[in-house]
């Protein structure tokens, strides 16, 4: 299955790139600049592409991103600390982001005669992000089947859809993913902050997977209080 992986440079998508490279044919990595708070992670996506010996394309959709206002990831709004399961994390939603990116990716896949587009959505995203849920994934596939009917058949490959981030760490380790060469933090400092939702989830995932976390955090232990605070 010749596959284009949507890769942000984060732990999930880089692990997925390594999985696809090992199990299928990796056609290339696709990243998006949508005006997010920082594009530091795109550098990690580029490094992943070089490591795996495939092309890396970055699509500039900043003007579209500017119209999707109100998110802590795109506007001058503070990124909240805490666990993703907290209501405050909804400020990190960028409306329709995955739908927009996937539509572009499917068009490119059809043009390049690829068989699939892979996205690293997972079960931990379901609470906060509606465009990471199984219902959306199934509906998007049906829409693209209609949109490309008679021209191309492109599959939306989401192997982590029903799993946790801990499962991704386990799978990433299996395929030799260099976790230290991935970036998750929403704040984009010199180190992972250790306090934002994605840092807390990252720390928890390594713990649950029983894999050593090589990440350098500003606050390495905040995740314990964040997890305890939600009654986990």
Q: Which pLDDT score is estimated for 74? A: 46
Report which of 64, 9, 63 is spatially closest to residue 39, judged by C-alpha positions: 9
| C-alpha dihedral (75, 80, 84, 86), degrees to nearest 10 | -120
Sequence-ordered list of residues with C-beta below 8 angstroms from that of 232, at least 6 positions apart, any chain: 83
Q: How many Å apart are CA 75 and CA 192, to the nearest integer?
A: 20
Q: How high is the mean pLDDT in each 10-residue block of the chain (232 residues)?
A: 97 98 98 78 95 97 75 50 56 74 97 97 76 93 98 98 95 98 89 92 95 96 86 48
For residue 173, what pLDDT is reported?
98
> Which pLDDT does position 91 carry in this prediction?
52
Task: For Cα atoms 28, 127, 130, give the angle at the middle one, nearest 5 degrees.
Answer: 60
pTM to 2 decimals? 0.89
Residue 84 and residue 61: Cα distance in Å, rounded?
A: 26
Structure tokens at 117: 């587009």
Pinpoint the alpha helices (H) of the chain: 11-23, 40-52, 62-67, 97-111, 134-147, 165-174, 197-209, 222-229
Residue 94 DSSP SS3: coil
């Amino acid at each position: 299955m010749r596959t284009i992986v949507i890769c942000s440079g984060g732990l999930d998508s880089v692990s997925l790139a390594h999985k696809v490279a090992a199990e299928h044919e990796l056609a290339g990595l696709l990243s998006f600049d949508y005006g997010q708070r920082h594009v530091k992670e795109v550098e990690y996506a580029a490094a992943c592409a070089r490591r795996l010996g495939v092309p890396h394309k970055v699509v500039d959709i900043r003007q579209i991103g500017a119209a999707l206002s109100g998110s802590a990831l795109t506007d001058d709004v503070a990124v909240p600390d805490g666990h993703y399961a907290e209501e405050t994390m909804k400020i990190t939603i960028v409306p329709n982001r995955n739908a927009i990116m996937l539509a572009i990716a499917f068009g490119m896949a059809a043009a390049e005669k690829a068989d699939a587009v892979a996205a690293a959505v997972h079960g931990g995203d379901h609470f906060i992000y509606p465009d990471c849920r199984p219902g959306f994934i199934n509906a998007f596939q049906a829409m693209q089947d209609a949109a490309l009917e008679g021209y191309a058949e492109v599959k939306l490959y989401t192997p982590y859809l029903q799993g946790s981030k801990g499962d991704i760490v386990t799978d990433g380790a299996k395929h030799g993913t260099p976790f230290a060469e991935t970036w998750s933090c929403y704040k984009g400092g010199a180190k992972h902050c250790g306090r934002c939702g994605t840092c807390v989830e990252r720390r928890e995932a390594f713990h649950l997977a029983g894999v050593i976390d090589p990440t350098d955090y500003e606050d390495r232990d905040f995740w314990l209080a964040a997890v305890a605070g939600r009654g986990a």
